[in-house]
Amino acid sequence: MADTGKLDRRGFLKGAVIASGASIAVEAHAQSGAPAQPKAAKAPLPTAAQHAAENDTPSELAPLTTTKTGSDFMVDVCKTLNLDYMASCPGSTFRGLQESFINYGQNKKPEWLTCLHEEVSVGMAHGYAKVAGKPMAAMMHGTVGTQHAAMAIFNAWCDRVPIMLFTASAGPVEDRRPGVEWMHSVQDGAATVRDFIKWDDYPWSLQSFAESTARAYSLATAQPPAPVLITADGKLQEMPLDAKASEKLTIPKLNIGTQTVADPNALRDVARMLVAAQNPVIIADRYARSQAGMDNLVKLAEALQAPVIDLQNRMNMPTTHYLCHSARSAALVGQADCILSLEPVDLYGQLNRVTDQLERTSRRKAKADVKIISISTHDLMVRANYQDFQRYSAADISITADAEATLPFLIEAVLKESGARRSDFEARGQKLREAYKGIADRARADAAITFDSTPISGARLFAELWNIVKNDDWAFLTSNNYVGNWQHRLWPMEKHYQYIGSSGGSGVGYEPVAALGAALAHRDAGGRLPIAVIGDGNFNMAPTTLWTAAHHKIPYLAIIQNNRAYHQEVMHIQRMANRHNRGVENAVIGTTITDPNIDYAKLAQGYGAVGIGPITDPKDLADALKKGVAAVKAGEPVLIDIVMQPRG
Amino acid sequence: MRLLSLASLATLLLSPALAQDAQAPAGDIKNGEKHYISDGCYQCHGVGGNGAALTGPRLSRTEFPYEAFINQLRHPGSDMPPYEASIVPDQVVADIYAYVKNLPPSRPAKDIPLLMGMGVK
């Protein structure tokens, strides 16, 4: 633009500041008491506004609108990733992107989901991915949003779940407005969470955004999967994008690789070791991510006629299969002469235990000479700081490969090696059939002990619930460990989507948020009845999930296991009090959630969900569950508050 | 009282003479119920002594002989927190033992149609 001596928009604002400053200086001088200089008799200076009005012409004003921006291109990039949802609590650093998603992107693929906390956004994506089998996206405000989301990201990292994370920053310093934009800007948007994400980038051009986002998706879904994070620069989002600049941009083809499989020589050795064993045991941990994974585990177990211990970090083994012996874990590990561990989270813990007494001691659970085989991607993603890698434990054969992708080849190798042993295997299988028969009987006997108790027991809850939903296509959204794990003991769990394991990182607050995301995936799958049993302490970390569920019409049954405490911590403090010989009566201080008791049903109603309870009498349970299930089938999110035993 | 080894504990549990529990001191059931709550037994073993899979076994109508019961309390062979006599005196242990030993029996599973109807056969 030629220098005409006229003011553009920025020059106008600068002039206004100078003029205002000059005016203040004159007044200050007048109040100082110094002798006043004689004033020249002349007309007053024009105000900046007058000056601008006289000298600027509308045609020379900087453009105030545009038809396409960098954020539109970013949406084009994201649309190539087959993302169904973007969960977010709003934040100004990504205002350009949000507007582009909902208008330019027509709020489809991905659809924007409104969450009331970033921990909810990320936790939803965590639960969703475990049911849908693909990542969902979550957008976090610059700095503060990422800080809010950090624990949920950590849970997903520990649980090896892929999430497409986005955050943003306000752009270069000369463009930032004073104040808040600086607070929410960051040199390195991923630094807060880099210890527990797989990869991140802060692209400084739109082309770089396209390539980095595609790379991030590929890395997130490669085994072992994990969250990845892209920082969307504010200036890139909001910069006008003309046709010429658009033509230069390309969106790369998404690269989805096959997963790592064990080498054939190692598999042959594994097969020989398993076939030669008298008491082989298969332990499946974070193993199956699909129905095919479950089916192959059954095939391997049948090929060997070996019992399977499902550690329930995923839905690995049908509870109705006669080789599912999870309830006999201690005895089987103790007797085993060969253990095959599939995707172990903690191999040391599978073989040893450490007491929680004043002097900690460790004890071997398995035989000293047991042969250990591990197939896992664990060693492909270990970081130094956070200690989720667990204690080092060596295996006789340690295979770094994806267990699910490897299993078909291992089955083939076992079948090839086992010809001479088939009759031995059949005899072993017959014994295991007999042992299996007693497992459910013992579970029923255990359940009977607590059936009539008050407060209500987990056994009663799951028995009443089964009676109501047994003809539905139900699925659990939570692990239910603290209510006795009755679904794995007495329910026919046969489909992979019926169970998604637990949080991974034991960050409290996972249950309500992951349940919401998993329920969303079940809704889209059609016709399923999602059920979550959520601890009251866990629920209190993210009660706003119910509003998101109501707003986006995500039906699920949220049963609050209300023991009115952070009960794990009650027991910890009780343990310390006993250890110090001080009595346990004060263990409730800082651990219980009483006085006043929280009315969870009212809370749910306030967020727009159906709220039922509190239910304190076991005789009222069936009616409450019937009402709740009916409302879920009608499309409502439902909370039932059940006052329950501290555990089990 | 000296810590019993696991082997001796097993002997206690299996011994017919001790199983009859002739040596259990007299206990006040009412006081035992009070202390079962105030001393926090229920936190791991459940209100009513029902037990829980992850935290503590069933105590209701326990088959533990008294000697094994108090020994487990004083010198737990597992992760259970120890209760010394300065915190729970021997007489209170006897009262708690009397309480859990005399809790009403639960219905057998075969008499509970809801349990028998549950999925896995």
Contacts of A451 in chain B (CB under 8 A): 106-107, 112, 114-115
Q: Which of A224-233, A436-445, A528-537 has the lowest mean pLDDT?
A: A436-445
Cβ-based contacts of B35 with chain A (< 8 Å): none
Confirm or reject contact between B16 and chain A (CB < 8 A).
Answer: no
Contact partners, residue A531, CB within 8 Å, separation at least 6: A465, A469, A474, A475, A476, A477, A556, A557, A559
Task: Residue B90: give its domain's CATH number.
Answer: 1.10.760.10
Is residue A496 within 8 Å of A291, Cβ to Cβ? yes
Whether the CB of B57 is below 8 Å from some CB of chain A: the reply is no
Q: Is the pLDDT of residue B13 over 50?
A: no
Tell me the chain A residues in contact with residue B106 when contact means C-beta distances shorter than 8 Å: 448-452
Residues A496 and A294 sit within 8 Å (Cβ to Cβ): yes
| Chain B residue with Cα closest to A357 | B79
Predicted local distance difference test score (pLDDT) of residue B14 = 37
pLDDT of A171 over the 90 cut = no
Structural domain count of chain A: 4
Is A462 found in the same domain as A552?
Answer: yes
Residues of chain A contacting B83 with CB distance shorter than 8 Å = 578
Give exposure, A26-62, as e/b (b: 16+ Cβ within 10 Å): eeeeeeeeeeeeeeeeeeeeeebeebbeebbeeeeee
- Are B112 and A571 an interchain contact pair (Cβ–Cβ within 8 Å)? no
Q: Is residue B43 part of a domain?
A: yes
Residue A17: what pLDDT?
36
Read off the tokens for A99.
Answer: 């507007």
Q: Closest residue of A to B61, CA-based?
A: A449
pLDDT at A6 over 50: no
Residue (of B63, B69, B79) closest to B14 by Cα position: B63
Residues of B in contact with A490 (CB under 8 A): 115, 118-120
Q: Are residues A320 and A301 in the same domain?
A: yes
B15 touches chain A (CB under 8 A): no
Helix (H), strand (E) at residue A148: helix A144-158
Which residue on chain A is closest to B89 by alpha carbon?
A583
Q: Which of A470, A450, A468 is nearest to A459 (CA)?
A: A450
Is residue B89 in a domain?
Answer: yes
Instruction: Establish if B57 belongs to a structural domain.
Output: yes
Of the candidates A113, A105, A99, A102, the residue with the CA atom closest to the CA atom of residue A78: A105
A648/B53 CB distance under 8 A = yes
How far is the C-alpha of A281 from the C-alpha of A336, rounded, in Å?
6
Give yes or no: residues A465 and A614 share one domain. yes
Contact B79/A355, CB-based, under 8 Å? yes
ipTM of predicted complex: 0.83
Contact A286, A343 (CB under 8 A): yes
Residue A221 backbone zone (phi > 0: left; psi -120 to 50: alpha; other: beta): alpha
Same domain, residue pair A308 and A380:
yes
DSSP state of A277: -
Note whether residue B118 is domain-resident.
Answer: no
Cα separation, A266 vs A609, whole angstroms: 54
Q: Which of A205-209, A347-351, A526-530, B117-121 has the lowest mean pLDDT?
A: B117-121
Q: Assess if residue A259 is contained within a domain.
A: no
Burial of A570: CB neighbours in 10 Å, binned 0-12, 13-18, 19+: buried
- Give the torsion sign (CA, A495, A499, A500, A502): negative
A281/A350 same-domain check:
yes
pLDDT band at A624 (very low <50, low <70, confident <90, very high): very high
pLDDT band at A473 (very low <50, low <70, confident <90, very high): very high
Residues of B in contact with A455 (CB under 8 A): 47
A-chain residues near B87 (CB < 8 A) = 578, 581-584
A442 is a domain residue = no
> Domain ends where: A375, A402, A437?
A437
Confidence band of B5 (pLDDT split at 50, 70, 90): very low
Q: What is the pLDDT of residue A11?
A: 37
Is B60 near chain A, with CB under 8 Å?
yes
Residue B4, pLDDT above cutoff 60: no
Q: Which of A443, A454, A574 sits opposite B81 (nearest CB)?
A: A574
For residues A56 and A117, state if they share a domain: no
Query: Is residue A146 over pLDDT 60?
Result: yes
Among the residue ranges A26-30, A498-502, A541-545, the one predicted with the least confidence is A26-30
pLDDT bracket for residue B6 (50, 70, 90): very low
A484 and B52: CB-CB below 8 Å? yes
Q: Inspect the interface and report whether the beta carbons of A581 and B87 lie closer than 8 Å.
A: yes
Confidence of residue A26 (pLDDT cuts 50, 70, 90): very low
Other CB atoms closer than 10 Å to residue A584's CB: what's the count? 23
What's the whole-model pTM score?
A: 0.89
Q: Which of A23-27, A93-97, A120-124 has the lowest mean pLDDT?
A: A23-27
Q: Are residues A538 and A601 in the same domain?
A: yes
Looking at the domain assignment, is residue B96 inside a domain? yes
Q: Which of B6, B43, B100 to mutate to test the interface with A (most CBs of A within 10 A)?
A: B43
B55–A648 CB contact, under 8 Å: yes
Q: Which among B40, B54, B120 is the nearest to A647, CB-wise?
A: B54
Inter-chain contact B51–A648, Cβ cutoff 8 Å? yes
pLDDT confidence of residue A60: 61
Does residue A437 have a pLDDT over 80? yes
Q: Which residues contact B120 (CB under 8 A, 6 or more apart)?
A: A319, A320, A439, A440, A443, A489, A490, A491, A492
User: What CATH code is carried by the domain that includes residue A121?
Assistant: 3.40.50.970
Partner A contacted by B22 (CB < 8 A): no
User: Both A240 and A284 in a single domain?
Assistant: no
The beta-carbon contacts of A304-307 under 8 Å, at least 24 apart in sequence, are A304/A274, A304/A275, A304/A280, A304/A414, A304/A418, A304/A425, A305/A425, A305/A426, A305/A428, A305/A429, A305/A432, A306/A274, A306/A280, A306/A281, A306/A282, A306/A340, A306/A428, A307/A281, A307/A282, A307/A332, A307/A432
Nearest CA-CA partner of B48 in A449, A540, A224, A391: A449
Alpha-carbon span A574 to A580, nearest angstrom: 10
Q: Cβ of A482 and B78 within 8 Å? A: no
pLDDT tens digits for B29-49? 999 999 999 999 999 999 888
Dihedral pair phi/psi, residue B60, rounded to 5°:
-55, 125
Residue B76 in any domain: the answer is yes
Which of A574, A581, A587 lies at the smallest CB-CB distance from B84? A581
CATH number assigned to the domain comprising residue A334: 3.40.50.1220
User: Last residue of a domain, which of A437, A472, A489?
Assistant: A437
Hey, is A86 helix, strand or coil?
A: strand
pLDDT in tens, A577-621: 999 999 999 999 999 999 999 999 999 999 999 999 999 999 999
Please indicate, yes or no, if residue B31 is contained in any of the structural domains: yes
CA distances from A406 to A224, A267, A275, A402 (A): 14, 9, 17, 6
Cα A524-A528-A531 angle, rounded to 5 deg = 110
A404 neighbors A288 (Cβ within 8 angstroms): yes
Residue A450 has pLDDT above 70, yes or no: yes
Q: CB contacts < 8 Å between A and B, how many?
A: 140
CA of A431 to nearest chain B CA: how many angstroms apart?
A: 17
B81·A440 Cβ contact <8 A: no
Smallest Cα distance from B21 to chain A, Å: 22
Cross-chain Cβ contact A449/B60 below 8 Å: yes
Q: Determine which helix (DSSP H) or strand (DSSP E) holds A374, and give its type and residue range.
A: strand A371-376
pLDDT of A399 above 80: yes
A94 DSSP 8-state letter: G
Q: Which residue of B has its CA nearest to A445?
A: B109
Chain B neighbors of A574, CB-CB under 8 A: 40, 43, 81
Residue A103 shares a structural domain with residue A48: no
* Same domain, residue pair A235 and A118: yes
* Interface touch A444/B118, C-beta < 8 Å: yes
Residue of A444, A579, A583 lying closest to B115 (CB–CB): A444
pLDDT at position A527 is: 83
Give the pLDDT confidence of A293-342 residue by residue, as tens digits.
999 999 999 999 999 999 999 999 999 999 999 999 999 999 999 999 99
Strands (E), A546-609: 556-562
Residues A488 and A535 occupy one common structural domain: yes
pLDDT 10s digits, A358-382: 999 999 999 999 999 999 999 999 9
Q: Is the pLDDT of residue A29 over 80?
A: no
Interchain CB contact of B89 with A (< 8 Å): no
If you count them, how many residues does chain A have? 648
Helix axes B6-14, B66-74, angle to 10 degrees: 150
Is A494 a residue whose pLDDT tops 50? yes
CB contacts of A582 in chain B (<8 Å) are 87
Note whether B46 contacts A646, CB cutoff 8 Å.
yes
Q: Report how far residue A460's alpha carbon sits from residue A490's, in angstroms, rounded to the nearest whole number.
A: 12
* Residue numbers in A near B48 (CB within 8 A): 450, 453-454
Indicate whether A212 and A168 sit together in one domain. Answer: yes
> Looking at residue A403, what is its pLDDT?
98
Is residue B104 within 8 angstroms of chain A, CB to CB? no
Given an 8 Å threshold on Cβ–Cβ distance, is B120 in contact with A319?
yes
**Cβ separation A447–B83 shorter than 8 A:** no
Closest residue to A584, CB basis, from B40, B108, B121: B40
A351, part of any domain: yes
CA pair distance A331, A322, nearest whole angstrom: 16
Domain range for residue B79?
Answer: 6-13+25-103
CA distances, A100 to each of A67, A76, A106, B98 (Å):
11, 10, 8, 71
Residues constituting chain B: 121
In angstroms, the separation between the Cα of residue B67 and the nearest Cα of chain A is: 21
Q: What pLDDT, in 10s, does the model give residues A35-76?
A: 444 444 455 555 544 554 455 555 567 889 999 999 999 999
For residues A192-214, give the mean pLDDT: 98
Task: Indicate the number of domains in chain B.
Answer: 1
Q: What is the pLDDT of residue A43?
A: 55
Q: Helix A510-525 and helix A118-132: axis angle, to 10°?
A: 50
Which residue range(s) make up the domain with A144?
70-248
From chain A, the residues in CB contact with B51 under 8 A are: 446, 449-450, 648
